Amino acid sequence: MRIAIYPGSFDPIHNGHMDIAQRAANLFDELVLAIYARPDKSLLFSVEERVSLAQRVMAPYDNVRVEPYDGLTVEFARSLRAQALVRGLRVISDFEREYQMALMNQRLSSAVETICLMTSYEYAFLSSSLVKEVFIAGGDISPMVHPLVLAALEVRNRA
């Protein structure tokens, strides 16, 4: 059984994340989209909300499940018996951070291999923070997120 985890904050999940998740799911028997509960950044959605949104938008993909986690990513990978940790690469600036994290994770656990997938052309400049910023400023983000995510942002904006 080949298992991979795809870790991140997913605040909220957007089409660039979904694209990486779908493509990774084609490479493994099971993909666990792992939602980091307490990242070192300000969040719009709670971990329960981020998990619920990701679960609903990824529901059509049979071999993808969504789990929250805390603590070390490699420990979470180990607990699931995952052999790989998938990350997405957009621009050069992502590379430096991903490279550092991959080497650190390699030191922490040689049992988990980091695999980076290149973004698809249309999502190269898509990020959760940009989605939130454009939405709050009144821009149309419907081509960038699943309709359920758009609805969740609208509810949050009205609250």
Strand, helix or coil at 6? strand
From 94, 106, 113, 150, residue interacting with ligand ADP (rule: CB under 6 A): 94
**Residue that the structure tokens 């990774």 belong to:** 24
**Under the criterion CB under 6 A, does residue 9 sit at the interface with ligand ADP?**
yes
**Under the criterion CB under 6 A, does residue 73 sit at the interface with ligand ADP?**
no
From 90, 112, 131, 132, residue interacting with ligand ADP (rule: CB under 6 A): 90
**Active site includes 110?**
no
Amino acid at 107: R
Strand, helix or coil at 92? helix
* Burial 121-146, CB ≥16 within 10 A → b, else e: eebeebbbeebbeebeeeeebeebbb
Strand, helix or coil at 72? coil
**Under the criterion CB under 6 A, does residue 10 sit at the interface with ligand ADP?**
yes
- The residues with which 118 forms a beta bridge, in sequence order, are 89
**Under the criterion CB under 6 A, does residue 39 sit at the interface with ligand ADP?**
yes
**Active site includes 17?**
yes
- Of 17, 50, 87, 132, catalytic: 17
Residue 23 Cα distances to 71, 106, 143, angstroms: 26, 23, 19
- Of 50, 128, 132, 146, catalytic: 128
- Of 41, 93, 107, 158, catalytic: 41
From 20, 85, 141, 153, residue interacting with ligand ADP (rule: CB under 6 A): 20
**Active site includes 41?**
yes
**Active site includes 90?**
yes
- Of 14, 50, 87, 90, catalytic: 90
From 5, 76, 87, 131, residue interacting with ligand ADP (rule: CB under 6 A): 87
Q: Are 58 and 18 in contact, with CB atoms under 8 Å apart?
A: yes
Q: Which residues bind ligand ADP (CB under 6 A)?
A: 8-10, 16-17, 20, 39, 87-88, 90, 94, 119, 123, 126-128
